[in-house]
Amino acid sequence: MMNIRKCPLSEAALLYSSEPAFSDAGKEYTYGELEQLTEYYQRIFSFVKNEAFMRENGVSGLLSAGLDGIDLGEYLFTDALFPKVMIKATPSVDHVAAIFAMMRNGITYIPFSSRETPERIRTVARDARAFIINDLRRFAESVNAMEAFRAEEFHLNDHVDPYAPCNMMMTSGSTAMPKLVVHNLNAHLKSALGGQKVLDIRHGDRYLLSLPLNHVGGQAVIFKCVLTGAVMVSPRKDMSPAGQILQDRITVLSLVPTQLVRIMENNPEVLAESCVRAILLGGAPIDDMLIARMHDLYPSIALYGSYGSTEMASQICTNVLLKGKEITAGFPLPYRELVLNSDGEILVRGETLCMGYFRNGLIEKVTGDDGYFHTGDIGRMLPSGLTVSGRRDNMFISGGENIHPEQVEAMLLKNQNIAEVLVVPVRDHEWGMMAVALVRTVPGFNGTLEDLRQQALSEMSHVYVPKIWLNMPEIENTGLKIRRGKYIEFAEKTLNRT
């Protein structure tokens, strides 16, 4: 028998009907209005799920509206037994309504970045047998304008199967074809509920959607807000993050350390004047000097560190970061389990674990024979919690020594003149692979990169000090993970090692 539960958005609409749910450039939508918009999109997506209607009206209907297929919607090989929609992820009220509408219609959604190329989108869609939607509103307007659609009768429901495939998150490097990580709704809800033990999102909180919604961290914010009656706030295109923090009365932020450093450097007064009460950090090493400065300047703001993965629906561990205390990610949150194997690799399992990877029309499990997902991350469990040394696949050998870039970066960040640093390998005839430091110094630093290298040599084992130091390029990173491949390409090109 199918497992059915009420859609969490429907529950929120009953509890917080007249309370704000979403804020977009100052325009507020209540939970009741978000529910109404979701019902509108339920009607729209019934079009996608109806195979006979699709074949009769799909491609011809869309193209007859004078709209390009890839720009609006493209019908490929939608699987009637496992319908899927690839949808461009935008931090809009329409997007949030659409994903809950798809859940209610039994459609698995695959959010993709606006930076994805049409070729990669089509390839993934073809492999997944998915329908592509690039412009959600135009797609909905065109479907709604079809005479055949207006003649259809619709039977809306507000229930979902929490154990059926809910979404597929694309995860990979910049060039390889992405893996599709399949999650059910239960995993997302348990992820949000477990995170509440530490983060404590509250009714009325205003959470900035600073992480892209094609990342599992961005998806996690949606479920956290809906379960607690908090407000999702869309990033403003016409305003800096610092300005928006004040303008939209943001109370909770998810950031990478670099984003926090830049706010503190460029607009130090903003956090002091803001309503921010909690900041969740992740995705890169966290410097103890950053924590100390945060607590000195903004003692009322709680700072949290986290460790997570796409396969575990975002957060696995989360911990309060305190001045003068050891920096760890803490211990596993509820509904998660974590152990280390003999090599120090982090293994996880629990109710937040994904259903598997979607390959060749099947969902393949991600666990090994031991029942755990092998993350590829190396860590240690201390009395105060988990510390993550780095990824096995980031490690490289230089002159016979194993170099873990994340460990070296954490050591270099202890220098108060270094604001950001990334250690990357480049090919070298003497060392095999040579460590290169890409550095951004703090404003007002009048020394040279060679000065910083010499200081590192006086404080660290020479084995781990990068041989070459370069200024860090401006490469945009989205989400909580650094695109190391882009920085490696920069270093290789700069040093003529391509």
And the tokens for 369? 């024979």
Quick one: average pLDDT of 176-180?
81
In this prediction, residue 171 carries a pLDDT of 84
Quick one: average pLDDT of 42-70?
64
Q: How confident is the model at residue 80 (pLDDT cuts 50, 70, 90)?
A: low
**Does 391 score more than 90 pLDDT?**
no
**Does 325 score more than 80 pLDDT?**
yes
**Does 58 score more than 70 pLDDT?**
no
Q: How confident is the model at residue 1 (pLDDT cuts 50, 70, 90)?
A: very low
18-27, 257-266, 484-493 — most confident range: 18-27
**Does 69 score more than 60 pLDDT?**
no
- CA separation for the pair 81, 361 (Å, rounded): 11
For the ranges 249-253, 293-297, 379-383, 396-400, the lowest mean pLDDT is seen at: 396-400
**Does 195 score more than 60 pLDDT?**
yes
**Does 385 score more than 80 pLDDT?**
yes
And the tokens for 394? 């980031």
Q: How confident is the model at residue 95 (pLDDT cuts 50, 70, 90)?
A: very high
Query: Tokens 């994340």 map to which residue?
Result: 406
3-state secondary structure of 434: strand
Is residue 166 within 8 A of residue 190, CB to CB? The reply is no
Quick one: average pLDDT of 469-498?
81
User: Hey, how many other C-beta atoms are within 10 angstroms of the C-beta on 397?
Assistant: 12
Torsion angle (degrees, nearest 10) of CA 468, 469, 470, 476: 110
For the ranges 47-56, 247-256, 346-355, 428-437, the lowest mean pLDDT is seen at: 47-56
DSSP 8-state class, residue 175: S
Higher pLDDT, 141 or 98: 98
In this prediction, residue 482 carries a pLDDT of 73
Query: Tokens 């190396």 map to which residue?
Result: 378
